[in-house]
Amino acid sequence: MKPIEEIKPLLENPKKVVITMHQKPDADAMGSSLAMYHYLIQKGHEVTVISPTNFPDFLKWMPAAELVIDFESSNDKAMAALEGIQLLFCLDFNALYRTKNMAPFLEKLDCTKILIDHHLEPQPSFDFGVSDTSASSTAQLVYETIYKLGEEKYINLDIAACIYAGTVTDTGSFRFSSTSARVHRMVADLMDRGLKHEIIHQNIYDNFLENRLRFLGHSLLNRMEVFYEYNTAMLAIPYSDLKRFDLMTGDTEGLVNFLLSIQGIKLAALIIDRNVEVKLSFRSKGDFDVNTFARKYFDGGGHFNASGGRSVDSLDKTVERFIRAIRENEEQLQ
Ligand code: 5GP
Ligand code: MN
């Protein structure tokens, strides 16, 4: 993979471009993709952003979110947008299977593929890119890419808002260890450019329906287990809860972080029965490596302190497997 700044000559004349991200995109996937979109359209390219699936309502405020095509629900439009593209940008993921039903189509595309990502262990199928696991967010890498291309004059308020949104969510509002001085310098620059940060926080964090808060209360009261001997807390959510509280995409986002607020807890797990499969989210504090943990036991991956995986077993079976897995890791969890 050649360094990202070497794409500069490719951007000099108009191209047909698609930007895509991981399925069920979060604010970083959407924010980095839309920031890249707002940069590339100013350069005169024909750009389409495709999400492999739908995305949470609380991201609909993002500038140009209404133009994002859902590969599942608008498949014809997505396929037309992919037809004959010259450049494919893959943002905030590094393994094609994370684009779900899009993966077989992306694999077959005959075009230049560009990666911008901060997850561990990238697949080696990209022509150009940046894979920086020390970056707080993919949004930050998009910001730095624009600088590396010497194009910072294009960083307008739309780009600033998208980059800030991805960074604020992926850093847990600037609290995780990935929040480097580099992050704060970038935010200072975005604020100098006129960014209104408080509106973005309200759009992301104060934008839920009542049922989501009631679901949160119900889950913490009835679905949480704490294994003090392994410094681990777990929430196991049956599919019936998702139905009962009428949850939407994105409503379970951030839930896992509540578990880490218990004194002494090093590993937090959120295990949700999504009916077709069980999804797992892991978060850790300090030196417990949840990327390796997710890879080893649950066919997943991610970052050192935040990762995810999946299971085709029932919820109960998955929980049993999780408990066996933490027993096997007892020493590392001390
Ligand atoms: P979340 O728990 O918020 O869904 O994901 C946490 C982190 O782990 C994110 O960076 C996400 O991209 C990654 N991740 C989540 N699920 C999977 C998975 O099934 N496979 C891999 N490789 N990474 C995942
Ligand atoms: Mn990210």
Distances (CA, A) of 334 to 22, 209, 281, 330: 33, 38, 20, 7
Sheet strands side by side (includes 306-311):
224-227, 232-237, 267-273, 278-284, 306-311, 301-302
**CATH number of the CATH domain containing 30:** 3.90.1640.10
28 alpha carbon, closest ligand: 2
Whether the Cβ atoms of residue 91 and residue 138 lie closer than 8 Å to each other: yes
- CA atoms of 332 and 323, how far apart (whole Å): 14
113 CA → ligand 1 middle, Å: 22
97 CA → ligand 2 middle, Å: 16
Number of domains observed in the structure of the chain = 2
272 alpha carbon, closest ligand: 1
Kindly report, residue by residue over 60-89, the tens digit of the pLDDT: 999 999 999 999 999 999 999 999 999 999
Domain stop point among 205, 240, 265: 205
Domain stop point among 205, 239, 269: 205
| pLDDT, average across residues 121-132 | 91
Residue 124 sits in the same domain as residue 248: no
- CA atoms of 98 and 24, how far apart (whole Å): 9
The pLDDT score that the predictor gives to residue 125 is: 86
Q: Is residue 334 part of a domain?
A: no
273 CA → ligand 1 middle, Å: 16
Closest-CA residue to 231 (of 282, 268, 286): 268
Per-residue HEC secondary structure of 193-246 comes to CCCCHHHHHHHHHCCCCHHHHHHHHHHHHHCEEEEHHHCEEEEEECHHHHHHCC
Ligand 1-lining residues (CB < 6 angstroms) = 22, 95, 119, 281, 300-303, 306-310
Kindly report, residue by residue over 137-146, the tens digit of the pLDDT: 999 999 999 9
**CATH number of the CATH domain containing 233:** 3.10.310.30
Nearest CA to ligand 1 atom 17: 308
Q: Is residue 333 part of a domain?
A: no
Choose which residue among 23, 53, 55, 98 to substitute to test ligand 1 binding: the one with the highest number of ligand atoms within 8 A of its C-beta: 98
Kindly report, residue by residue over 40-51, the tens digit of the pLDDT: 999 999 999 999
Residue 67 sits in the same domain as residue 170: yes
Segments forming the whole domain that contains residue 285:
210-328
Residue 271 CB neighbours (<10 A) = 24
Q: How far apart are the first and last CA of the chain?
A: 39
Q: Is residue 115 part of a domain?
A: yes
Nearest CA to ligand 1 atom 16: 308
Distances (CA, A) of 264 to 146, 221, 222, 226, 280: 41, 19, 21, 11, 21
Q: Residue 300, SS3?
A: coil
15 CA → ligand 2 middle, Å: 26
Q: Is residue 26 part of a domain?
A: yes
Q: Residue 307, SS3?
A: strand
Kindly give the number of the ligand 1 atom that is closest to the alpha carbon of 295: 22
Kindly report, residue by residue over 218-247, the tens digit of the pLDDT: 999 999 999 999 999 999 999 999 999 999
Identify the H or E element spanning 88: strand 87-91
The mean of the pLDDT values for the chain is 96
The partner residues of 48 in beta bridges, in order of sequence, read: 18
Q: Residue 159, SS3?
A: helix
Residue 285 CB neighbours (<10 A) = 15
Kindly report, residue by residue over 274-312, the tens digit of the pLDDT: 998 999 999 999 999 999 999 999 999 999 999 999 999
Whether the Cβ atoms of residue 251 and residue 208 lie closer than 8 Å to each other: yes
Kindly give the number of the ligand 1 atom that is closest to the alpha carbon of 298: 19
Residue 194 CB neighbours (<10 A) = 10
The pLDDT score that the predictor gives to residue 250 is: 87
Residue 226 sits in the same domain as residue 151: no
Q: Is residue 48 part of a domain?
A: yes
Residue 13 sits in the same domain as residue 148: yes
Residue 227 sits in the same domain as residue 183: no
Residue 36 sits in the same domain as residue 162: yes
Write the single-letter amino acid at 156: N
- CA atoms of 36 and 47, how far apart (whole Å): 10
The model scores a pTM over 0.90: yes
DSSP for 253-270, please give it.
TTHHHHHTTSTT--EEEE
Closest-CA residue to 118 (of 142, 103, 106, 134): 134
Residue 108 sits in the same domain as residue 161: yes
Kindly give the number of the ligand 1 atom that is closest to the alpha carbon of 29: 12
For strands 267-273 and 278-284, give the pairing.
antiparallel
Residue 246 sits in the same domain as residue 156: no
Residue 191 sits in the same domain as residue 235: no
Kindly give the number of the ligand 1 atom that is closest to the alpha carbon of 24: 4
- Residues with Cβ within 5 Å of ion ligand 2? 28, 92, 138, 170
Residue 198 sits in the same domain as residue 222: no
Predicted ipTM > 0.90? yes
Residue 13 sits in the same domain as residue 52: yes
Kindly give the number of the ligand 1 atom that is closest to the alpha carbon of 291: 8
234 CA → ligand 1 middle, Å: 17
The pLDDT score that the predictor gives to residue 22 is: 97
Q: What percent of the chain shows pLDDT beyond 90?
A: 94
Kindly give the number of the ligand 1 atom that is closest to the alpha carbon of 282: 2
Choose which residue among 307, 310, 311, 312 to substitute to test ligand 1 binding: the one with the highest number of ligand atoms within 8 A of its C-beta: 307
- Give residue 249's pLDDT band: very low, low, confident or very high (50, 70, 90): confident
